[in-house]
């Protein structure tokens, strides 16, 4: 595969595969189910979803547990993760880059969780455009937030992760989008009061929809 940016090559390679291996834990399903129960409760008539950068597909598993008849679709750049993803959703899994993906149709709910932070800043507009084109109704993102763009290091690696106001970028770029709701995921928050704390990042989430 030809990679458009150093970030793509980095996450498609060994570092990305090690990241995937660390995030295969089924215990992570608990907080994901809680998040998507809340978010999907704000939507109507969602029958298909498309995730960009799903890893092994834990978010998709969580969504399917909430909406058993949902159609799951995704694109993943890391081959190791893609193999697990294909086992989960079959032919609706695509191995490749969102920068090269031409969606054949639209989906009710298009989303990313911890993906935009890994995209080269110069490529973000192309990803925004792809997500907007694919989304029939809803766009959902859960990412690191900062009012202004800034770069952070990941396990000693610089130039591979950044945070910014991704939602603001969408709302400024597309006049037909409106903000439905937003929230914050706290790494110390348990799924239920009696449960132990599950590992998760501090992230802000935003649900947007296209105006009718």
- pLDDT at residue 94, as a whole number: 94
Partners of 95 in beta bridges: 76
Distances (CA, A) of 96 to 27, 33, 106, 131, 143: 27, 26, 18, 15, 21
Specify the fold of 6-210. Answer: Rossmann fold (3.40.50)
- pLDDT at residue 60, as a whole number: 97
pTM: 0.87
CB-CB contact of 74 with 82 (8 Å) = no
- Find the radius of gyration of the CA atoms of the chain: 16
- pLDDT at residue 112, as a whole number: 98
Distances (CA, A) of 186 to 159, 190, 200: 25, 9, 7
- pLDDT at residue 197, as a whole number: 45
How high is the mean pLDDT in each 10-residue block of the chain (212 residues)?
65 64 68 92 98 94 96 94 93 92 87 94 95 96 95 65 96 98 78 50 92 88
- pLDDT at residue 119, as a whole number: 92
Of 102, 106, 112, 113, the C-alpha closest to 135 is 106
């Amino acid at each position: 595969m030809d990679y458009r940016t150093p970030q793509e090559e980095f996450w498609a390679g060994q570092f990305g595969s090690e990241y995937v291996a660390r995030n295969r834990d089924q215990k992570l399903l608990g907080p994901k189910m809680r998040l998507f129960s809340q978010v999907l409760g704000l939507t109507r008539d969602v029958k298909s979803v498309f995730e960009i950068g799903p890893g092994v597909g834990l978010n998709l598993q969580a969504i399917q547990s909430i909406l058993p008849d949902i159609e799951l679709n995704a694109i993943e750049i890391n081959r190791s993760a893609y193999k697990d993803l294909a086992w989960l959703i079959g032919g609706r899994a695509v191995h490749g880059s969102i920068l090269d993906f031409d969606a054949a149709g639209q989906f009710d709910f298009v989303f990313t969780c911890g993906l935009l932070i890994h995209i080269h800043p110069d490529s973000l507009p192309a990803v925004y455009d792809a997500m907007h084109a694919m989304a029939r109704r809803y766009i959902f993102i859960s990412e690191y937030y900062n009012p202004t763009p800034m770069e952070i290091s990941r396990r000693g690696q610089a130039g591979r992760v950044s945070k910014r106001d991704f939602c603001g970028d969408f709302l400024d770029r597309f006049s037909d989008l409106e903000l439905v709701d937003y929230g914050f995921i706290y790494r110390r928050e348990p799924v239920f009061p009696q449960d132990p704390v599950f590992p998760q990042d501090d992230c802000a989430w935003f649900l947007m929809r296209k105006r009718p």
